Amino acid sequence: MACFTVPLATAAAASIIKNTLPANARRTTFATKLGWLGKMMFGGSLLLAIEHVYHGEVTLTPPFLTAIAEGPEAVSEMLHEMATRGVAMTVLVIAVWAAMVVFSTFAERKRQYV
């Protein structure tokens, strides 16, 4: 129902961190690639939000999350979904991003020596 909000919050946090880092910290490998993480999270969240709108779990009028209008039991189910599926998706995307950063760093270093 609202699993897309966890990656969306992570994308917002990554964007804020990227823009507020001091200049000397922006030169580190992971800091230079924070834009990748933000784009991956925003893109995934957008696709998930579209899917949830299509299935009627999210509406374009308040309350946007239909579980809120359905009552406390539905809200509890929604929070459980956010805590399980949303967090799992976020952790998976962060792991893929970290692997991409490590791979690109090795590729850049290898290119320097060739």
d(CA 70, CA 111): 57
Which of helix, strand or coil describes residue 20?
Answer: helix
pLDDT confidence of residue 16:
93
pLDDT confidence of residue 28:
81
pLDDT confidence of residue 24:
81
Mean pLDDT, each 10-residue run in order, the chain (114 residues) = 91 92 82 92 94 90 86 93 95 96 90 74
Main-chain dihedrals φ then ψ at residue 65, nearest 5 degrees: -90, 120
pLDDT confidence of residue 102:
93
CB 100 within 8 A of CB 40: no
Give domain limits for the chain: 5-113
pLDDT confidence of residue 93:
96
